[in-house]
């Protein structure tokens, strides 16, 4: 199979990662990709994290043609002008992170961000991991909030990062009826090995492999470890099914060639 396409890696401008002993530098990311058999990765910025700034982030990506830059956005700003700017800078999409930006999937700003992204034809990478301490726990089902935003902007191009986490099958059913939405298995495929989610993950790769992709969530995980997990979960699939999940679906979602020239 051709090289894999990582939907989610987080190089940072400082090379640090939340004061933890993890290496988030660009050279480490690219080296890890090659060692793990990945030919491309989405380099995903996080608004307000480790000195993130649009211009500096996209410039750091330019020497690496295997990286696809995704801009970190706080949806409560001047979205129209900011999204025009990130598109002009060459970003291929935007990332929304509800927990880090302090909003929920039920807030109006999510639909506002969907509208602004649709206007400039940029896909949205949305974190769907909503867990945390009781004081920050969601007070309504996040899936219902997401559904409200999608009813308001049904044609947004949307990648559901982490696939709803432990609610994977429920989020899959939303994606099933929405051809403009792709479900991503990053983090979730690594976090719960040995749980009942193994069956759900294998089901998506087998029975939903035209609408599913996966990523590494670097530097939380390594490309080599995620590649091994992908090989485990996709055992028994045809070459076409593995290629769909491994690179083809994400490339088509981003309107990129399936392989680098």
pLDDT in tens, 41-62: 999 999 999 999 999 999 999 9
Domains held by the chain: number = 1
In a domain, 244, yes or no: yes
pLDDT tens digit string along 102-154? 999 999 999 999 999 999 999 999 999 988 788 878 888 999 999 999 999 99
Q: Please tell me the predicted confidence (pLDDT) of residue 177.
A: 93
In a domain, 261, yes or no: no
Q: Please tell me the predicted confidence (pLDDT) of residue 138.
A: 80
Any bridge partners for residue 93, and if so which? 70
DSSP 40-90: EEEEE--TTSTT--HHHHHHHHTT-TTEEEEEE--TTS-HHHHHHHHHHHT
Q: Please tell me the predicted confidence (pLDDT) of residue 10.
A: 98
In a domain, 260, yes or no: no
Q: Please tell me the predicted confidence (pLDDT) of residue 204.
A: 98
CATH of the domain at 122: 3.20.20.140
Question: What's this model's pTM, rounded to 2 decimal places?
Answer: 0.96
| Torsion over CA: 23, 127, 210, 166 (sign) | positive
In a domain, 78, yes or no: yes
Q: Please tell me the predicted confidence (pLDDT) of residue 237.
A: 97
In a domain, 193, yes or no: yes
Chain-centre distance of CA 131, in angstroms?
17
Question: Contact, 175 vs 160, CB < 8 A?
Answer: yes
pLDDT tens digit string along 142-156? 999 999 999 999 999
Q: Please tell me the predicted confidence (pLDDT) of residue 209.
A: 97
Low-confidence ranges of the chain (pLDDT < 50): none
3-state secondary structure of 133: coil
Residue span of the structural domain in which 60 resides: 4-253
Q: Please tell me the predicted confidence (pLDDT) of residue 243.
A: 97
Q: Please tell me the predicted confidence (pLDDT) of residue 258.
A: 85
Q: Please tell me the predicted confidence (pLDDT) of residue 261.
A: 61
**How would you list the strands of the sheet with 212-213, edge to edge?**
4-9, 38-44, 67-72, 93-96, 124-127, 158-161, 181-184, 212-213
Question: Contact, 31 vs 65, CB < 8 A?
Answer: no
């Amino acid at each position: 199979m051709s090289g894999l396409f990582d939907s989610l890696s987080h190089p940072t401008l400082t090379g640090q990662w939340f004061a933890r002993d993890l290496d988030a530098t660009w050279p480490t990311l690219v080296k890890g990709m090659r060692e793990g058999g990945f030919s491309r990765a989405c380099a995903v910025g996080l608004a307000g994290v480790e000195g993130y700034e649009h211009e500096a982030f996209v410039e750091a990506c330019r020497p690496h043609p295997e990286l696809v830059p995704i801009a970190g956005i706080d949806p409560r700003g001047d979205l129209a002008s900011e999204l025009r700017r990130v598109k002009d800078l060459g970003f291929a999409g935007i990332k929304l992170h509800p927990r880090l930006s302090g909003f929920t999937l039920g807030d109006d700003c999510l639909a506002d961000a969907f509208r602004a992204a649709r206007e400039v034809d940029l896909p949205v990478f949305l974190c769907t991991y909503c867990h945390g301490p009781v004081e920050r726990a969601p007070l309504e089902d996040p899936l219902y909030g997401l559904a409200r935003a999608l009813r308001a902007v049904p044609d947004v191009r949307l990648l559901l990062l982490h696939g709803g986490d432990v609610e994977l099958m429920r989020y899959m059913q939303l994606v099933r009826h929405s051809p403009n939405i792709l479900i991503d298995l990053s983090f979730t495929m690594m976090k719960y090995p040995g749980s009942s989610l193994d069956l759900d993950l294998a089901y998506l790769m087998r029975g939903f492999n035209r609408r599913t992709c996966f990523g590494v969530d670097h530097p939380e995980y390594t490309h080599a470890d995620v590649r091994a997990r992908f090989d485990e979960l996709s055992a028994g699939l045809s070459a076409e099914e593995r290629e769909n999940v491994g690179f083809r679906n994400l490339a088509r979602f981003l309107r990129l060639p399936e392989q680098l020239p």
